[in-house]
Structure 1
Amino acid sequence: MRKPKLIRITTVPLSLDKLLGGQLHFMNSFYEVVAVSAEKAYLEKVGIKEGVRTFTLNMTRKITPFQDLTAVIKLFLFLRKEKPFIVHTHTPKAGIIGMLASALAGVPHRFHTVAGMPLLEATGFKRKVLDFVEKLTYSCATKVYPNSHGLAEIILKNNYCSIEKLKVLANGSSNGIDTDYFNPEFYSDTQKATLRNQLTIAEDDFVFVFVGRLVADKGINELVLAFNQLSEENAGVKLLLVGDYEAELDPLTPETLAIIQSNKSIITVGFQSDVRPYLAISDALTFPSYREGFPNVVMQAGAMGLPAIVSDINGCNEIIKEGENGLIIPVKNLNALLKAMKKITEQREVTNILKEKARPMIVNRYEQQLVWKAILEEYKRLE
């Protein structure tokens, strides 16, 4: 008997590869999975890696109405030909294009996962446009899955859709965390010492790490300013920035960029396909983001045994419990961030308690198989 067809769509294949890694391969045992995204070469690599068929659809993360309309038409024709049982979209642009084309094509089950809302930082006319697009996306979907309880509350507060359409799966997260892969035991003291030496990090330095896009709405401006002040008072600290800049979409301030260049205690390594070695040599994650869905990096760091300083936003404040596996600070609060960084470096007995609970709290709540099975159960109940 032929398996039902499942189409999963993201704006760019990086999301399929890094944010949903392994999930398509898992679902392919139960459904005929087709991955749809932009960037043909990268998408095809993801298809080979996950063992699924692919279809390239040109999309961008910017507001591009004419290109988006072309994408809707192309996807509509593809869906009419494929006749999938389920279309499941992730990321905002893939959501509107995927849900609209699916509704027009008569796809019976149209799912959209919400994993963050860039529109929350928008204002004026742009915010009105993005609000309209969000509502249209949800109206075309038959089910909407916020990947955190906080996001569900935001959706209801903004009247984007009814509560009947919403459901948070498992304990949150779009993909869970592979705690066998993110395991600090893989890295020996010798390996860690070698990498620290390569990055000019002393054996007794306390290392704060950030993993993600180096952009304003991740709180990088506040993080760099806070660390710059901390490093003036404490020479035994380092800040490790793992990720790329996005100068066009959400640039950092000139002051922040100048500090990154001039402060020798700030180390940038760019985008890394495997962040585990950098987490392994660090002592604490700093993640003062303005908005998130359910941030993978906070789970990854926790699985690697790191406590985290996070902002009090949805997702972050569900993964981190204040005083148990990390510290929670107000959003965009430079002084609170600096105070938390001082606390975690100076009060080592507190830090040790946070470290002890970091990994167990992730393993018990966000193991990847738990999340995958919850999504699969949603699919299976439709058959």
Structure 2
Amino acid sequence: MKIVLIITDYGSFNNFLSDLAIRLKEDGHEVSVITSETRVINIQDKFDYLAAGIKFFYVDFPRGFNPFAHYRSSKKIQKILDSIVPNIVHIHFTTGIFTTLFAGRVKYRTLGTFHGLGFPVLSGLKKQVFGAVEKFCFGRLDKIYVLNEVDYKAVKALGYKNVEKYETLGLGCDLSVFNPDNFSETWKASLREELDIGVNDFVFAYTGRFVNFKGYDKVIRSFLKLYSKNSKVKLLLIGGNDPIHPTGLTENETILMNNCEGIIHIGFTKDVASYLSITDVFVFPSVKEGMPVCVIEALAMGVPVITADSRGCNEIVQNDYNGYVVDVTDDNWSGVYEKMEQLIINKDYINQFKSNIQQDRNDYDRNRYVICEKSRYEQYSSIEK
């Protein structure tokens, strides 16, 4: 079977879809990837894709609304598809789906996975714009996939019967990598020493792009307030800036962050599990997610999570069970601060959360997603377009 995976940038493919692509190749399928050479998630390759025989085709995916740019890229993508003649085309992310289908429906069975729709959670003009783009995409897909219940109900309410919600927790994560048992106490002590983290320091972590809708600004503000009262706290920032989206911090807050000795800048890395192994609490109050992989990775490592009461996040984290779910708005981050402070003071909560997390660990397995995806491809390959 010939399968084409389309995703907006190479970094996202490497981080999210590489396990699936490798498994499909191992099963004897022909796998091609259409993506841009951009690495929004800039980590080392997880596999040797060339040796595995995965074919790559590079196309720019415009991030703006220039119709001519989308049309040019769409025509290029569809020309590549015609050269492959695939059984299945599976596109990820709204931008990837919109660009691919801008010039028209493709000739091959086309599946689209939206990692977080805009129209169910936005308001005003943005809701209208995203709604128009997303409905445009819905009408040109054979199958619509979403990651969470909010998006599923919203698409169903529009009358689309070809929508399905993933039965797994999004794309999950690799439990062989995100496994706390991989890291000995000696190894963790060495890493803490390397990062100048004291034996009694309490460690928070944030993973992802440094953008305001992911709650980055709220994490920084909360931590700076904590640090002003208690220098025995540290914050690991794992990720980096996105040139398109603002951090949400003022110029003065950025200066304070850069000068704060308690904040440790890790950058983008494929060794996220290493840093989570020395993390006490993961903080990710994002208000715009589909099903956040970084939260799944933290839980797989046995780390309790403070997150926002928002779509996707509140389907993974249960309040007072494996972490805290708090209300946040652009101007309100007090709940994030309060829960961070509470867990520093009362570590018994952390131990109870860890016990609950351990019971659910298999739910976070990316292999569940890979198996389900392979089953979908086998199902749809037997249906004529």
Structure 1 residue 145, shift from structure 2 partner? 0.8
Give the structure 1 partner of residue 35 of structure 2: 37
Give the structure 2 partner of residue 346 of structure 1: 345
Give the structure 2 partner of residue 104 of structure 1: 105
Give the structure 1 partner of residue 8 of structure 2: 11
TM-score for both structures, normalised by structure 1: 0.90
Q: Structure 2 matches for 1:186-265, cutoff 5 A?
A: 186-254=182-250, 255-265=252-262
Give the structure 1 partner of residue 83 of structure 2: 81
Aligned partners of 2:116 and 2:291 also within 8 Å: yes
Letter in 2 for 1:17: N
Q: Is residue 171 from structure 1 mapped to residue 172 from structure 2 by the alignment?
A: no
Structure 1 residue 151, shift from structure 2 partner? 2.5
Give the structure 2 partner of residue 137 of structure 1: 137
How far apart are the structure 1 equivalents of 2:113 and 2:225?
A: 39
Q: Structure 2 matches for 1:140-151, cutoff 5 A?
A: 140-151=140-151
Aligned partners of 2:257 and 2:263 also within 8 Å: yes
When residues 27 and 252 of structure 1 are mapped into structure 2, their CA distance, relative to the original with a 3 A threshold, is same
Structure 1 residue 74, shift from structure 2 partner? 0.9
When residues 251 and 63 of structure 1 are mapped into structure 2, their CA distance, relative to the original with a 3 A threshold, is farther
Give the structure 2 partner of residue 267 of structure 1: 264
How far apart are the structure 1 equivalents of 2:353 and 2:59?
A: 44
Letter in 2 for 1:282: T
Aligned-residue RMSD, C-alpha: 2.4
Moved over 4 A (4+): 118-127
Q: Is residue 372 from structure 1 mapped to residue 370 from structure 2 by the alignment?
A: yes
How far apart are the structure 2 equivalents of 1:381 and 1:257?
A: 51
Give the structure 1 partner of residue 294 of structure 2: 297
Aligned partners of 1:24 and 1:50 also within 8 Å: no
Structure 1 residue 32, shift from structure 2 partner? 1.6
Structure 1 residue 360, shift from structure 2 partner? 3.2
Where 2:89 maps in the other structure, the secondary structure is strand
How far apart are the structure 2 equivalents of 1:227 and 1:100?
A: 43
How far apart are the structure 2 equivalents of 1:54 and 1:243?
A: 25
How far apart are the structure 2 equivalents of 1:40 and 1:49?
A: 21
Give the structure 2 partner of residue 328 of structure 1: 325
How far apart are the structure 2 equivalents of 1:40 and 1:194?
A: 34
Where 1:264 maps in the other structure, the secondary structure is coil
Where 1:276 maps in the other structure, the secondary structure is helix
Letter in 2 for 1:265: G
Aligned partners of 1:25 and 1:51 also within 8 Å: no
Letter in 2 for 1:334: W
Q: Which has the higher helix share?
A: 1
Give the structure 1 partner of residue 62 of structure 2: 60
Q: Any idea what the Cα deviations from partners look like across 1:204-256, whole Å, max 9, x if unmatched?
A: 11101001011111111111111111222222211111111124422332243
Structure 1 residue 271, shift from structure 2 partner? 1.3
Percentage identity across paired residues of the two chains:
27
How far apart are the structure 1 equivalents of 2:346 and 2:51?
A: 44
Where 2:342 maps in the other structure, the secondary structure is helix
Aligned partners of 1:99 and 1:110 also within 8 Å: no
Give the structure 2 partner of residue 356 of structure 1: 355
TM-score for both structures, normalised by structure 2: 0.90
Where 1:171 maps in the other structure, the secondary structure is coil
Where 1:59 maps in the other structure, the secondary structure is coil
Where 1:33 maps in the other structure, the secondary structure is strand
Unaligned runs of 5+ in 2: none
How far apart are the structure 1 equivalents of 2:60 and 2:230?
A: 48
Aligned partners of 1:89 and 1:99 also within 8 Å: no
Aligned partners of 1:307 and 1:351 also within 8 Å: yes
Report how many residues are paired.
Answer: 373
